[in-house]
Amino acid sequence: MTKTIPAYLRIHNGPSLETITTTPLPVDPVSRFWQTYSSTTGWRVDQGHSRGEMSTAMLPSTSDSAVDPAALPAISEFLQDDPDSVWDIPAVSRGAAQKLAAAALELTRLYRDSLQEIRRQEAELAASAIPGETAEPSGQLVDRLQKLLSRAAAATGCHAAALYLLDEQTTSLKLRACHGLPASRLTAPPRPLRGSRGDLECLVRDSVLIDDLSGVQASFWNSPEPFPSAIFVRLEEEDLPIGTLWLWPKMARQFTPRDGAAAQLAATGITAELSRAKLARHRERLSHTSRAVQAAAQWQLRQLPPAMEIAPGIVVDGWTESPRPWACSWHAWDVLPDGMVSLALAEADSNQLDGALIAATARAAFSAHSHYRHSVTDMLLRVSDSLWQTNTGDQIVSLLYAQFNPDTGEGRIASAGKIHAIIASDRGFRPVCSDTQSDPLGSSIDGRYADAEFRLQPGEVLVAVNAAVLDQETGLTQADWADCIRNAISSHDLPVLPAIRRGLAGKPTTKERSGVMLMRRK
């Protein structure tokens, strides 16, 4: 009897998508080692109690005993000596098994510690993927990323989640944090972006939902982990892609647009957390920098001498006002060994932080050269040589230096760069030097420096200021400057430098202002 085959196709019910065999989950290398240890030696490391404390015991291996002992502290002397059957007799002696287990436990601890350190480092590198300053270590960032990945997996019904970030050349993706995967995955080398169809697709689109990653689809989408389904979304900062977020379920399933939206929301939260960590570290760095700058500014302030009557009838005073926390100018005065009064005002050409360092270098050179006999031009030449020889870059400084005899009122003054000086009284003023007469220090090996003799009569004052005080936009004219001094001298109880500051009160403080005065009382 011949069986007739029908001329139509028959439809058979296959397994539903939900009943597809689950993909074996990745096994942690530590668990795999202890499984191999038990099957090879015939012993297993188990958890027991000894003297009321948690310890580790050596027990004969059974078919269902594969306990991860990573958290157990020590090897106990406890051992079951009466196996149930001859097949339970271990292949290795207890002593040898204990030695091997003790060494393995130590290696396990080192391995776990190394993975924990790798997790911290990867979290720091994840934060550095955000455009801007490089983030510094943050111990809590690891835990926050783990929590966000765990919530992302729970929100989408997935088992594992992984965060991959692009390198600076945008040619590869490195795993920076994961959930539901062995921590050893963090030690894997970066994946090349070329050929990673899934990552490339989600860098163009907001999210990609793949219900079936078996067969040809697995090689087509190039999933980093062997799971049956996946969601992957783009991570971006200010419309700039920085990486991808992958989510995998244990079993193949059909994803909905709601799952994709949840994954996008999780990606946004992860990016925000990375940005927040970077911003927090940046604020902390700025705080440290601000404290360091304030300490330097206080040091500069302590270097400036207070106003005083340096000799009978001779009053000296100085003033520095900077729009920045630091100052690039300084003033000084002293009584030289021969009884002459010295007076100096200096300002670095740069107004940045290096200007403050250049000014400090000039101050140190000035102090060093003040201890032996010199003329006013000798001082300028020696300070200029020091600036020229102590740095491969430009150290440009303006300096006015004067020596004054308090008994006779006679003196000599030399200037370099942008320093103005006049001698004024209640009847008028006469210029002593200006910024057009000489070169600044450090500008050339053989500089051109102006010097002149002067005589200070009783009731007159020598006042020197930097170029910002007489700036056309933010300072005073020379006539206004002289009027401020003359009015202060006419009012005997009115200090000279505060009078100049009051004249500048309505001007914008965008440039550093400084001045110095030497008054011979009547």
Both 127 and 101 in one domain: the answer is no
Both 374 and 464 in one domain: the answer is yes
Both 127 and 105 in one domain: the answer is no
Is residue 292 assigned to a domain?
Answer: no
Q: What is the pLDDT along the chain (522 residues), one digit of tens a residue?
A: 455 555 555 554 544 444 444 555 556 677 777 778 777 777 777 644 333 333 445 555 544 444 444 333 334 433 444 445 444 556 677 777 777 888 777 777 777 777 766 766 666 666 555 554 444 444 578 888 889 999 999 999 999 999 999 988 889 999 988 999 988 888 889 999 988 888 999 888 888 999 988 877 878 888 999 999 999 999 988 888 899 999 999 999 999 999 999 999 999 999 988 888 888 777 777 888 888 888 988 999 999 999 999 999 999 999 999 999 999 999 999 999 999 999 999 999 999 999 999 999 999 999 999 888 899 999 999 999 999 888 877 899 999 999 999 999 999 999 999 999 999 998 889 999 876 778 899 888 887 888 999 999 999 999 999 999 999 888 999 889 999 999 898 887 678 999 999 999 888 889 999 999 999 988
Is residue 387 assigned to a domain?
Answer: yes
- Residues near 516 by Cβ (< 8 Å), separated by ≥ 6? 316, 317, 318, 319, 331, 333, 343, 344, 345, 400, 463, 464
CA dihedral 481, 484, 486, 489 (to 10 degrees): -130
DSSP-derived secondary structure for 413-457: EEEESSEEEEEEETTEEEEEE-TTSSPPBTS-SS---EEEEEE--
Is residue 299 assigned to a domain?
Answer: no
Both 327 and 474 in one domain: the answer is yes
Both 125 and 114 in one domain: the answer is no
Task: Dig out the tokens for 85 from the structure.
Answer: 């059957």
Is residue 294 assigned to a domain?
Answer: no
Is residue 152 assigned to a domain?
Answer: yes
Both 85 and 33 in one domain: the answer is yes
Task: Dig out the tokens for 258 from the structure.
Answer: 């709601």
Both 223 and 204 in one domain: the answer is yes
CATH of the domain at 128: 3.30.450.40
Per-residue model confidence (pLDDT) at position 129: 55
Both 398 and 496 in one domain: the answer is yes
Composition of the chain by helix, strand, coil, percent to 5: 35, 25, 40
Q: Is 401 exposed, middle or buried (0-12, 13-18, 19+ CB in 10 A)?
A: buried
Per-residue model confidence (pLDDT) at position 120: 67
Is residue 1 assigned to a domain?
Answer: no
Per-residue model confidence (pLDDT) at position 6: 54
Both 129 and 42 in one domain: the answer is no
Is residue 287 assigned to a domain?
Answer: no
Do 443 and 383 meet the contact criterion of CB atoms below 8 Å apart? no
Per-residue model confidence (pLDDT) at position 41: 77
Angle separating helix axes 257-303 and 139-155, nearest 10 degrees: 160
Per-residue model confidence (pLDDT) at position 80: 44
Both 353 and 481 in one domain: the answer is yes
Strand-pairing partners, residue 454, are 411
Per-residue model confidence (pLDDT) at position 13: 54
What size, in residues, is the chain?
522
Task: Dig out the tokens for 224 from the structure.
Answer: 């980093």
Per-residue model confidence (pLDDT) at position 27: 60
Residue that finishes a domain, picked among 90, 118, 146 = 118
Is residue 73 assigned to a domain?
Answer: yes
CATH of the domain at 376: 3.60.40.10
Task: Determine the structural domain holding residue 26 and report its residue range.
Answer: 22-118
Both 374 and 452 in one domain: the answer is yes
Per-residue model confidence (pLDDT) at position 123: 64
Question: Rounded to an integer, what is the distance from CA 13 to the centroid of its chain?
Answer: 62
> What is the value of pTM for the model shown?
0.58
Residue that finishes a domain, picked among 223, 252, 282 = 282
Q: Into how many domains does the chain fold?
A: 3
Q: Maximum distance among all alpha carbons in the chain? A: 146
Residue that finishes a domain, picked among 118, 136, 170 = 118
Both 437 and 493 in one domain: the answer is yes
